[in-house]
Chains A and B, each alone.
Chain A
């Protein structure tokens, strides 16, 4: 059952997605004119808060060929969303405190911009001769970590840290050694553990992924290289939660103690899965127990305290990690997001909802709290 007024009174912090709906009218029919954000004043960096900020990345395909990407950004219940045209080799990450980090490569250099959604502007935060494949803002908001490859050879150049104060970047991690069990690396993604203390470098072959966990205070890193592990769900409580090395769904969700030990199978044939926090602020892995998403459960990273989350039967699916959903939204803890096809909606007539852990109370997106 969908509720709104109830939540409007009791949980005023849930104020997301309004502009996702607004995006409907701007992304159907003729493509809207691309937004070129003006330069922001002052030092770059994420701000406080940021609940409701969201982004979605879609390829622009012309005659079957990717010719670019369109980054759609917005804030819930405030502004109309805006779309930014990026090159065919580009990425986005975030939201980080009301900002979205976007990178695009024009064949000669990679440029990184930090888009401030509230101010409607962007900082040009980096330009690199190497190809910056992915980047993320550090939890303290003072630096960017970026993964680079060589422009000519596409060789792995490692992970670099770039202070936002303009100091020169330095390398954090060297290249990942090749391993035939994983094949060539297709995607490298950077993220942070749920407590913000560990940088997670996820390097995926065509199907299976390796994980390097980096302590930014010491520079120490550890590698988890198991060809039976696939994409990252998240890192919490000293455990890596990942998919099995599957080409599709359903697929297991596995929890691995980063210090070793026996893995725990959280779900043996799950649909979408995402790391979230429950009503008590504890990390939980929320996952669809079937590929159709009709049954959803939450379980602690160590496999304990599994419990169902009531969900309405509709066409919405659990919105997974950004790599799966092609976007993300900053929303309050204790809730998870459901959208059409497991993505944030941009098509007319579609909407996303929030469902609360553990009771599944549902808030429509078009009745957003302010």
Chain B
């Protein structure tokens, strides 16, 4: 039976709270890489050219902010993610106004990888339940409560790439680890005018699109296991004999790492360590120079006594790689028989 809401029914009744968990929700934790959206990827370094939507062209202040956000994305993607560029004949369109954002508050997008995307930004002056949307860029003197259009657009560009909303700690102390956020901040809250991808944004971009070069830093939001190996050209040498030492450093093989899995890692510090027979103490012997191909570290050393060797890659403080230590290799050096040099090791 259909029935209107009579005044009788208006009295507040106890509210039954039904907690629901969506089973397919991405399992992301705080300070983890942003979850990724479903769908295809754009090509590595693909240029996505956008134009203004006919009839819904953003005002000049917003056009400037959108272009700046495109530059922000290009400059801080720290990966081979797609880039954005304005082109009057671009296949992708950005509009200003109502669009088809549904109930999304401040803006929205569609992504049709690998061909194009669309984006809408709500208009300045639109009323919402909480008040009226104001873009900082539309104000001669930005007032508290305004939203930074460059930041919001960068968030949208991140979605277009593949990024889902970052999952923050409960107290949001990690809010600036990502610009792609569920709840946007308004002026003057920290992060309201963030004009770069945060490390948890770039972490996912790197897993999806790969690092810029094999020597580029890995996002500090990652925690990738690495593997360092050690090899000698000969493990049985005459006294004072020269031997080539080769170490390889790479990201561990793990499908969860996406494109980063098994990546060789160049331009890092790999130390060769020595342990005398019968000792438990390892001492640094030499830092192996980076060689070719990427991920290879090589040196030639001269040995004067049998010892155990290993290589170490220390956990960096500024990027998301875990340190590793190679297995131990024993190199046997024959005793000296004549014209023996001073004891010791000459690298």
Say whether A216 contacts B103, CB under 8 Å: no
Contacts of A154 in B (CB 8 A): 129-131
Contacts of B13 in A (CB 8 A): 218-221
Question: In the complex the two chains form, what is the Cα distance from A368 to B291 in whole Å?
Answer: 74
Q: List 30 A-B contacts (CB under 8 A).
A: A58-B97, A58-B98, A64-B60, A64-B61, A65-B123, A88-B125, A105-B127, A140-B3, A143-B6, A161-B6, A161-B9, A170-B7, A185-B130, A205-B182, A207-B165, A216-B4, A216-B5, A217-B1, A219-B9, A219-B13, A220-B13, A223-B15, A226-B20, A228-B21, A252-B38, A259-B18, A268-B24, A268-B38, A321-B102, A347-B55
Question: In the complex the two chains form, what is the Cα distance from A323 to B102 in whole Å?
Answer: 5
Pairs A-B, 3 closest by C-beta atoms: A64-B59, A161-B5, A138-B4
Say whether A247 contacts B58, CB under 8 Å: no
Asked if A197 CB lies within 8 Å of chain B CBs, one says: yes
Contacts of A203 in B (CB 8 A): 129
Report A230-265 CB contacts with B as 1/0, cut-off 8 Å. 111000000000011111111010101011101101
CB distance from B321 to the nearest CB of A (A): 31
Interchain CB contact (< 8 A) of B111 among A88, A105, A250:
A250
Say whether B123 contacts A247, CB under 8 Å: no
Asked if A222 CB lies within 8 Å of chain B CBs, one says: yes
Say whether B130 contacts A248, CB under 8 Å: no
CB distance from B75 to the nearest CB of A (A): 22
Asked if A202 CB lies within 8 Å of chain B CBs, one says: yes
Stretch with Cβ within 8 A of B (4 or more), from A14-22, A76-84, A186-194:
A186-194
> Please, which residue of chain B has its CB at the minimum distance from the CB of A67?
B125
Q: Which of B100, B104, B184 has the most CB of A within 10 A?
A: B104
When A217-B3, A259-B18 are in contact, do A66 and B124 touch as well, CB less than 8 Å? yes
Contacts of A254 in B (CB 8 A): 22, 24
When A58-B98, A64-B123, A183-B183 are in contact, do A161 and B105 touch as well, CB less than 8 Å? no
CB contact list, B126-141 vs A, under 8 A: 126-132, 138
Asked if B23 CB lies within 8 Å of chain A CBs, one says: yes
> Please, which residue of chain A has its CB at the minimum distance from the CB of B124?
A65
Say whether B105 contacts A206, CB under 8 Å: yes
Question: In the complex the two chains form, what is the Cα distance from A106 to B165 in whole Å?
Answer: 37
Interchain CB contact (< 8 A) of B16 among A64, A171, A222, A268:
A222
CB distance from A70 to the nearest CB of B (A): 11
Say whether A250 contacts B39, CB under 8 Å: yes
Say whether A186 contacts B10, CB under 8 Å: no
Asked if B96 CB lies within 8 Å of chain A CBs, one says: yes
Asked if B25 CB lies within 8 Å of chain A CBs, one says: yes
Asked if B338 CB lies within 8 Å of chain A CBs, one says: no
Interchain CB contact (< 8 A) of A223 among B4, B17, B124:
B17
Asked if A315 CB lies within 8 Å of chain B CBs, one says: no
Contacts of A92 in B (CB 8 A): none
Say whether A247 contacts B109, CB under 8 Å: yes
Contacts of A258 in B (CB 8 A): 18
Report A120-154 CB contacts with B as 1/0, cut-off 8 Å. 00000000000001000011111101000100001
> Please, which residue of chain B has its CB at the minimum distance from the CB of A143?
B4
Asked if A291 CB lies within 8 Å of chain B CBs, one says: yes
Say whether B104 contacts A206, CB under 8 Å: yes
Interchain CB contact (< 8 A) of A187 among B18, B123, B128:
B128
When A58-B98, A161-B7, A231-B103 are in contact, do A174 and B129 touch as well, CB less than 8 Å? no
When A206-B105, A291-B110 are in contact, do A170 and B10 touch as well, CB less than 8 Å? yes
Q: A187-B105, A220-B16 are in contact. List 9 more A-B contacts (CB 8 A).
A: A65-B124, A140-B2, A199-B5, A227-B182, A232-B103, A250-B111, A323-B103, A326-B98, A343-B100
Contacts of A170 in B (CB 8 A): 7, 10
Size band of the B side of the interface? 35 or more
Question: In the complex the two chains form, what is the Cα distance from A160 to B6 in whole Å?
Answer: 10
Contacts of A66 in B (CB 8 A): 123-126
Contacts of A57 in B (CB 8 A): 98
Asked if B208 CB lies within 8 Å of chain A CBs, one says: no
Question: In the complex the two chains form, what is the Cα distance from A173 to B10 in whole Å?
Answer: 7
CB distance from A275 to the nearest CB of B (A): 14
Question: In the complex the two chains form, what is the Cα distance from A184 to B183 in whole Å?
Answer: 9
CB distance from A236 to the nearest CB of B (A): 15
Question: In the complex the two chains form, what is the Cα distance from A196 to B22 in whole Å?
Answer: 26
Contacts of B58 in A (CB 8 A): 64
Report B13-45 CB contacts with A as 1/0, cut-off 8 Å. 111111111111100000000000111000000
Report A289-301 CB contacts with B as 1/0, cut-off 8 Å. 0011000000000
CB contact list, B209-239 vs A, under 8 A: none
Say whether A225 contacts B130, CB under 8 Å: no
CB distance from B30 to the nearest CB of A (A): 13
Say whether A223 contacts B18, CB under 8 Å: yes
Contacts of B11 in A (CB 8 A): 219
Asked if A365 CB lies within 8 Å of chain B CBs, one says: no
Question: In the complex the two chains form, what is the Cα distance from A252 to B164 in whole Å?
Answer: 13
Asked if A172 CB lies within 8 Å of chain B CBs, one says: yes
Asked if B248 CB lies within 8 Å of chain A CBs, one says: no
CB contact list, B111-163 vs A, under 8 A: 111-112, 123-132, 138, 155-156, 159
CB distance from B177 to the nearest CB of A (A): 18
Say whether A269 contacts B38, CB under 8 Å: yes
CB distance from B139 to the nearest CB of A (A): 11
Say whether B138 contacts A65, CB under 8 Å: yes
Asked if B178 CB lies within 8 Å of chain A CBs, one says: no
Asked if A320 CB lies within 8 Å of chain B CBs, one says: yes
Say whether B4 contacts A89, CB under 8 Å: no
Contacts of B138 in A (CB 8 A): 64-65
When A186-B130, A223-B15 are in contact, do A139 and B22 touch as well, CB less than 8 Å? no
Q: Which of A63, A66, A189, A252 has the most CB of B within 10 A?
A: A66
Question: In the complex the two chains form, what is the Cα distance from A220 to B112 in whole Å?
Answer: 43
Say whether A245 contacts B182, CB under 8 Å: yes
Contacts of A105 in B (CB 8 A): 127
When A58-B98, A61-B123, A170-B10 are in contact, do A140 and B4 touch as well, CB less than 8 Å? yes
Asked if B270 CB lies within 8 Å of chain A CBs, one says: no
Say whether A292 contacts B59, CB under 8 Å: no
Asked if B264 CB lies within 8 Å of chain A CBs, one says: no
Interchain CB contact (< 8 A) of B10 among A217, A219, A256, A271:
A219
Asked if B62 CB lies within 8 Å of chain A CBs, one says: yes
Contacts of A24 in B (CB 8 A): none
